[in-house]
Amino acid sequence: MTRKLTYVQAFNEAVRQEMAANDDVFCAGEDIGAFGGVFQSYAGLQAEFGKRRVVDTPISEQAIIGLGVGAAVTGLRPIVDIMFMDFICVAFDQIVNQAAKLKYMFGGAATIPLTITTGGGGGLSAAAQHSQSLEALLCHIPGLKVVHPSNPYDMKGLMTACIRENNPTIMIKHKRLLGMSGEVPEEPYEIPLGTANVLRVGKDVTVIGWGRMVNEALTAAELLAADGIDVEVIDPRTLQPLDSATIIESVKKTNRAVIVHEAVRFGGLGAEVAAQIQEEAFDYLDAPVGRIAAPFSPVPFSPVLEAHYLPSVDDIVAGIRAAVARPGA
C-alpha cells in the first residue's frame, strides 16, 4: 500500500524501518538527536529509538566517520551523517584512506557496512561552502559506493539498500529535493545499488542526469516533445558503481547523448560517462556526447549569479537541441 511522502520523509522512513528491524543499525551525527538533523532527516528517531541508537556527536567530522568505520569493522551497521556535502572535505581522509581502503588493505578480512549520509547541491543561496556537488571526488575512490536519489520512491529504496549494503556507501540527499512529494510504498523495499532507471523512453537522444538535474531534464524533454524531439531520460541513481550497460544500450538506440549535472563541468562525473559512451558506442554516435554542467567557479552567493551558474531547463533544452541538430549518419 503506497501513499505520498516527501523525499526527506522517505529517507526517514527507510532509516526507521531498518532500525526497527535490526538493532545493529544506529545513527550518529551533529544535531540529529532531539532536533532531528538540520534537514529533519532524522526527525523523531531519537524519540522512538532512544539516545543509545541515535547519537548527537561533537562537531568532529573526522571522528564521526571514524566512529562509523570502527563500529562497522567490529560488527555494527552505522549510519553517520555529514550535514552538508561540502564538509566531507573535513573528513576526507577517514572516507578516502580509511573507510574505502580498509577492506582491501586487510586482504578482504574487513567488512564495512557503513552508510554516510549528506546533503548536497545548490540553489539555496548557501554560497561556496554549502552548495557543492562533489560526487565526482567520491566516485573516483575504489571501495566506496555513491548513491544520489532524484525522487521519494528512489530515496526510500536506495537508502534501504545502503543500510543493508556491506560496503561503505555515501547517500547524497539533494537539499532542493527535500520537500519533493511522491508515492512511496509503506513496506520496506530495496532498489539494488548499481541499477539505473529509464525515466522516459525516447528514440532521438539519450539524456543522462542525476539528483535534481534529472528532474529538470524530464521537464526539458516534455518541452522538446512539443517540437517532435523524442528524448530518453536515464537516472543512474547509483553513481558508483555506475550502470554503464543501461546507458550504452540506450545510446546505441538513440545515437546521441547529453549528460547533465550540477557539479562543475571540468572533471565532473559527466566526463567519465562521456568517455565511456564514446568508448563503448563510438560507431553509433551521430554527434559528440554533450555535457551540461556548472562553469568552472565556486558556487556564488547572490541568487542572480547562482541562477545563472546552475544548469537550467533552458540550458538543457539548448544542449539537447545542439545534439540533435547535427545530421545523422
Partner 1 sequence: MELSTDVQMDLHRRMVRIRLFEEAAGRLAEAAKLPGFLHLYVGQEAVASGVCATLSDDDQITSTHRGHGHLVAKGGQFNEMMAELMGKATGYCKGRGGSMHISNLDVGMLGANGIVGAGAPIAVGAGFANKYSDNGNVAAAFFGDGSTNIGAFHEAANMACALKLPVLFICENNEYGEFTARRDTMAITDIVDRAAGYGMPGVIVDGMDVVAVHEAAVEAAARARRGEGPSLIEAKTYRFYNHHGVQNLGLKYRTDDEVAVWKERDPIFTFEHRLIEAGTASRADFDAIWAELRDDIETAIQFAEDSPLPDPAAVLADVYTLMTPAEGASV
Ligand X SMILES: Cc1ncc(C[n+]2csc(CCOP(=O)(O)OP(=O)(O)O)c2C)c(N)n1
**Residues in contact with its own copies by the rule CB under 8 A:** 86-87, 89-90, 92-93, 95-97, 100-101, 104-105, 127-129, 136-137, 139-140, 142-143, 240, 242, 263-264, 266-272, 274-275, 278-280, 282, 285, 287-291, 296-298, 300
Conformational region of residue 62, where left means phi above 0, alpha means psi within -120 to 50, and beta covers everything else = alpha
Helix (H, G, I), strand (E, B) or coil at 81: strand
Question: Nearest approach, Cβ of 29 to partner 1 (angstroms)?
Answer: 10
Give 3-state DSSP helix, strand, coil % of the chain, rounded to 5: 40, 20, 40
CA dihedral 68, 70, 73, 78 (to 10 degrees): -20
Question: Nearest approach, Cβ of 30 to ligand X (angstroms)?
Answer: 5
The footprint of ligand X on residues 111-150 (CB under 6 A) is none
Cis ω for the linkage preceding 113 (within 30 of 0): no
H-type alpha helices, the chain: 7-21, 45-49, 61-73, 92-93, 102-105, 135-139, 152-164, 212-226, 244-254, 269-280, 303-309, 313-325
Q: Which does 308 bind (CB under 5 to 8 A by kind): its own copies, partner 1, ligand X, none?
A: partner 1
Q: Which of 130, 148, 174, 261 is catalytic?
A: 130
**CB-based contact 284:255 (threshold 8 Å):** yes
12 or 98: whose CB is closer to ligand X? 98
Helix (H, G, I), strand (E, B) or coil at 256: coil
Q: Which does 153 bind (CB under 5 to 8 A by kind): partner 1, ligand X, its own copies, none?
A: none
Strand order in the sheet with 290-294: 197-200, 231-235, 205-209, 257-264, 290-294
Phi, psi of 46, deg, nearest 5: -70, -35
Residue 9 in grid coordinates: 520523509
| Residue 189 CB neighbours (<10 A) | 14
**CB-based contact 173:119 (threshold 8 Å):** yes
Segment near ligand X (CB under 6 A); pick from 82-90, 175-183, 257-265, 276-284: 82-90
Segment near ligand X (CB under 6 A); pick from 83-91, 131-139, 191-199, 200-208: 83-91
| 87 near ligand X (CB under 6 A) | yes
The footprint of ligand X on residues 152-211 (CB under 6 A) is none
295 or 328: whose CB is closer to partner 1? 295
Question: Nearest approach, Cβ of 59 to ligand X (angstroms)?
Answer: 5
Could you confirm whether 148 is annotated as catalytic?
no
98 or 254: whose CB is closer to partner 1? 98
DSSP strand pairing (77-84 vs 238-240) = unpaired
Question: Nearest approach, Cβ of 78 to ligand X (angstroms)?
Answer: 18
Question: Nearest approach, Cβ of 126 to its own copies (angstroms)?
Answer: 12
Q: Which does 275 bind (CB under 5 to 8 A by kind): its own copies, ligand X, partner 1, none?
A: its own copies
139 or 323: whose CB is closer to partner 1? 139
Chain residues binding ligand X by CB under 6 A are 30, 59, 61, 83, 87, 90
Residues known to be catalytic = 130
